[in-house]
Structure 1
Amino acid sequence: MSLPSTSVRPWKQRGRRLLAIAGSCGLAVASLTAVAPAAHSATAAPGAPVARATAEAPLAYVTNYSDDTVSVIDTATTAVTATFAVGGGPKGVAASPDGARLYVSNGDAGSVSVTDTTTGMVTATVPVGNGPSGIAVSPDGTRAYVVNSALQRLTVIDTATNAVTATIAVGSAPQEVAVSPDGNRAYVTNYNARSVSVIDTATNAVTATINVGGFPQSVAVTPDGSRAYVTRPYSNSVAVINTATNAVSANVPLTDGPYDVAVSPDGARAYVSRGQGATVATIDTATNTVTATTAAGNTPRGVAVTPDGGHVYTANGNSATVSVIDTAAQTTSTVPVGTTPVDIAIAERPTADLGVELTATPRPGLLNGRIEYAVTLTNHGPRTLASAAVTLGLPSATGATSPDCALTTGKATCTATGLAPGAKVTHRVTVPVSALSLGTSYTVTATRTASAPTDPNPANDSASRTCTATTALIINCT
């Protein structure tokens, strides 16, 4: 989600931005002060989310409009682990399906920042024209869709080339975009036109315009693609669209300015941030009734659900915080982030599974018997392996040789960089065998000692081979 262009006018003054929110959402003007990222603190709500046991919990990315930054929250610990700079006035945020890249619409800069989530570095800046706000990535990761509120259009970016490939005219003051799970359709809310544009993503043509009324702001599609939920802050309600008929099939009354919406992974619930009520409402999608209201921070805007459905995150624009809601207990904790957090996206942590294999080949010789070890490093994906180091413990303190690994006493360190998914590299280390070994055992273990991005599978991180030498002429390896 992003700030509504028709009802919100941000500006800079004396080195800080103020957020003015006018009548359509009924919110007061607030002066905001930056809050440094810190560990989460509990609110008055009784309880905090239980940290996930896995180190591979997804990450939450929060756009901080006034700071020109994105905060990264580890959902296992609910703590900010990094903050990186993007373009001017970041609004919408979306991640690639593999979590490797982040796409941020910069409302003040008229651009989209493409960021490597492992390094936090902007790798490309794509000009898209005035007023970019909402943004979404196709399920296959090949396209990013950016709403241009000021230009009344949807911009399509090819993610392989980071180039704009199409612009699509939509309704007046478009705000947000959502893509159907099959990637065949995009839905754009047109605030002033009080409609939703339906776009065929194969042809980039508007195939339907649905009159939803009430100044629509945000939209989310259910996992089965059968319905789209549309927030209408001005009319205090959420419209439900039947995507088969492109007609409104239900209306859910909801007070306090319903703003953003996200659907749970199982499709059973829709979560709606209520900008005027500092709460999040839970809608049962089977009955389209509100079943719970949970406390959030001041002016909650962007809302997102973790992949396991256990927690809901909201970006609280006027309190410089993110609320973390335990969906089972309906309790809330708070994470301080940057100034004027606007949107939030949750994505699986980018990973590259490095597999380590080791072979040992005996090379008997009267005076120069030796064992040649080959360590093969394979990137099982899903993303490119930026760097890795594998250490081999050597049985001989001295005398080992290698054409491509660093050798120290009793150890060889082999590295890999820029390894694409499915690619592999093999390094070789040779260990001398004594002429009179008398049954000496030569055991070498290769172990991954470092890699980036995160390695999700420790089971294939090491391999061992043992050879036994009676003399330099008799060497057996298993």
Structure 2
Amino acid sequence: MQTTRRVRRLPAALVASAALLLVSTSVATPVSAAAPPTAVTATVPVGSDPIATVLSADGSRLYTANSGDNTVSVLDTAAAKVLATVPVGAQPVALAVSPDGSRLYVADKGDNTVDVITTAFGTVTATLSGFNQPQGLALSPDGGQLLVSNNGDTTVTVLDTASSAVVRTDQVGAYPAGLAIAADGHYAYVVSPFSDTLTVLDRTAGDSPVATVAVGPQSFALALAPDGSKVYVTDGAGNALTVVDTATRTVTATVPVGGLPLGVAASTDGAYVYLANAADHTVSVLSTATLTVAGTLSVPAGAVAVALDPALQHAYVLGGGMVSLLTPVPQVTAVSPASGFTTGGTQVTITGSALFGATAVIFGTVPATAFSCTATSCTATAPAEPASTVDVRVTTAAGTSAAVAGDHFGYVVPTADLSVALGVTAHPALLGAHLDYTVTVTNHGPAAGTSGTVQIPLPAGIRATSTDCTVTAGQLSCATGALANGASVVRHFTVPVGLLGINVTLTATRTASAPADPVAADDSDHRKCSGVTSLAITCS
């Protein structure tokens, strides 16, 4: 294989971002119950006639092969913007990223070459020649070998990526196109759209062909299920998806989809397969559980290729010089706590999927007073509302979550149970004997108390003094002030005892409080003190 050094300097933005591609090569594990991307939330202009796309392993970068102007666009997926446009060879039609993100391979069908972009250096560092209309690319799981399908003949070229040397040339069906290698590296799969075949190569036996499976006409692209159990092959002429069982190497289903499916991608949780239908500008979303189309999505810009991010938060669809970003409509599955006071202020955790980028959290019809969201949860402050049960719904650019039983939040009128405890200590003496009383008021919730009043009637002949209660003729009145749930306050008063002793029973009673007190049983307490002289006083 002839290698030509061709250095093309990339824009500074790509050089600066290259390190990000090396941070992580692990694939995020999505929540299998998550909703699939279904709504176009943004479009990003790229080069002319984009025909292929690939994501970096960590999902932070999306690359598009623009066959109309011989460029590769590099997108920052978080910012949904183009970081760089890289000139490559004529008619780029396929892309592959090394597992560590350090190299991007570009199949240039128009000049029979493969470009190598070294992302860390920010340059196109090599051009490999000697191919015959390279149409498809696939890297071994360890990145050590690159398979290149030659659409101009019946072969697949196997390259050593370290040396760029040809390891071997595999014979497959006529005019091969799409390629895929199983995650365990055991088998490779090649579709040939003009011989209508899928060739299975045993990579452990020198890529020996072990099976040829008849598939639909004009089958340009394929995708593997994450567990390697199925191969999903586009049937361009039949407007269908062909499903091949890899164990039996037989077609197990043919599923009608949109017009002229050219691109296909499987989600990393295995739940969905996305097909880009070029003829009608749609994407078919196939449920793998039922092998039926769960939804058909309109993509006005066009649909010729599709990629899914590892966490299933976005689908990227190419067409018409654009990348269309598809985002899931948010789903709410649980709300905790499930109730709060009509006064508002309850901190609520909302659990669900596709909650990232939330623009609103609504309790019934009233917006939350504050909120913040990640992909799977939001923390929101409930607004004030009348007593009722409402749906808590999250809105993003993709839409608003549907009302479901799991999103219910109940508004209840706040109550605060104030208990009253009366204590007394006798101080006998010949002169100056007295009784020291304490009134302890405790808020047992559930709400905070805003105010409260405890009154103690004074029998005839009994006087009292206090530093924190109001004494009027025949009565003490003690204000609690505001009391948080679980808090207590203590008030004090003193009753003098004459030489001839005392016989008195005093009762302290909560007479008013806000919010309402739902428990009357603990609203009062009493103490009895007696003694025939001021020298001998007992209390109970």
Aligned to 1:337: 299
Q: Deviations over 1:417-443 (max 9, x none)?
A: xxxxxxxxxxxxxxxxxxxxxxxxxxx
Structure 1 residues 243 and 77: alpha-carbon distance in aligned structure 2, compared to 1, 3 A threshold: closer
Matched, 1:300 2:253: no
Cα distance in 2 between the residues matched to 1:255 and 1:100:
34
Q: Does the C-alpha gap of structure 1 residues 87 and 254 become closer, same or farther in structure 2, counting only changes over 3 Å?
A: same
1:141 CA displacement:
1.2
Assess if the C-alpha contact under 8 Å between 1:100 and 1:350 holds in 2. no
Gaps of 5+ in 2: 1-27, 314-369, 380-540
Distance in 1, Cα, partners of 2:225 & 2:81: 30
Residue 274 of structure 1 pairs with residue 267 of structure 2: no
Q: Which amino acid aligns with 1:188?
A: V
Whole-Å separation in 2 of the counterparts to 1:201 and 1:141: 14
The answer to whether residue 249 in structure 2 is matched with residue 288 in structure 1 is yes
Deviation at 1:57, TM superposition (A): 6.5
2: CA distance, partners of 1:224 / 1:255: 26
Question: Once the 2 structures are TM-superposed, how far is the Cα of residue 338 of structure 1 from its aligned partner?
Answer: 3.5
Say whether residues 1:253 and 2:214 are aligned partners: yes
**SS of corresponding position for 1:150:** helix
For 2:37 and 2:179, the matched residues in 1 are separated by 29
Corresponding residue of 1:139:
99
Going from structure 1 to structure 2, the CA distance change for 1:122 and 1:285 (only over 3 Å counts) comes to same
Distance in 2 (alpha carbons) for counterparts of 1:57 and 1:321: 25
Residue identity opposite 2:309 in structure 1: A
Tell me the TM-score normalised to structure 2 length: 0.51
Following superposition, the deviation at residue 255 of structure 1 comes to 3.0
* Amino acid of the structure 1 residue aligned with 2:102: T
**Are 1:228 and 1:242, in contact at CA under 8 Å, matched by a contact in 2?**
yes
Secondary structure in structure 2 of the residue aligned to 1:214: coil
Q: 2:51 aligns with which of 88, 91, 100?
A: 91
Which residue is 2:276 aligned to? 315
How far apart are the structure 2 equivalents of 1:458 and 1:223? 35
Equivalent residue in structure 2 for 1:160, among 98, 120, 123: 120
Pairwise CA distance, 1:457:
8.0
Quickly say closer, same or farther: Cα 1:236–1:56, change in 2 above 3 A: closer
Structure 1 gaps, min length 5:
1-53, 59-73, 352-447, 460-478
Give the structure 2 partner of residue 188 of structure 1.
148
Q: 1:191 to 1:268 in 2, by over 3 A?
A: same
| Whole-angstrom CA distance in 2 between matches of 1:130 and 1:146 | 10
Pair 1:235-2:202 in alignment: no
- Name the CA distance, whole Å, in 1 between partners of 2:42 and 2:301: 15
* CA separation of 1:308 and 1:268: change in aligned 2, threshold 3 A: same
TM-score, normalised to structure 1, is: 0.58
- Asked whether the equivalents of residues 70 and 91 of structure 2 are also in contact (C-alpha less than 8 Å), the reply is yes
Residue 257 of structure 1, CA deviation: 2.4
Deviation at 1:243, TM superposition (A): 1.5
Task: Choose 153-162 or 74-83, whichever is displaced more.
Answer: 74-83
Distance 2:309 2:31 in 1: 9
Structure-1 residue corresponding to 2:81? 121
Residue 292 of structure 1 deviates from its aligned partner by: 0.9
The root-mean-square deviation of aligned C-alpha atoms, in Å, is: 2.5
Give me the whole-angstrom Cα distance separating, in 1, the residues matched to 2:29 and 2:98. Answer: 27
Amino acid at match of 1:171: F
Give deviations 1:51-81, integer Å, cap 9, x for gaps.
Answer: xxx99679xxxxxxxxxxxxxxx96342222
Is 1:348 aligned to residue 348 of structure 2?
A: no
1:315 and 1:224, CA in 2 relative to 1: closer, same or farther beyond 3 A?
same
Give the aligned length.
293
Distance 1:197 1:325 in 2: 32
Q: 1:57 to 1:342 in 2, by over 3 A?
A: farther
Contact 2:72–2:87 under 8 Å retained in 1: yes
CA-CA distance at 1:265 after TM superposition: 0.4
Q: How many Å separate the matches in 1 of 2:211 and 2:44?
A: 41
Percentage of pairs with the same residue: 40
The AA in structure 1 aligned to 2:72 is V
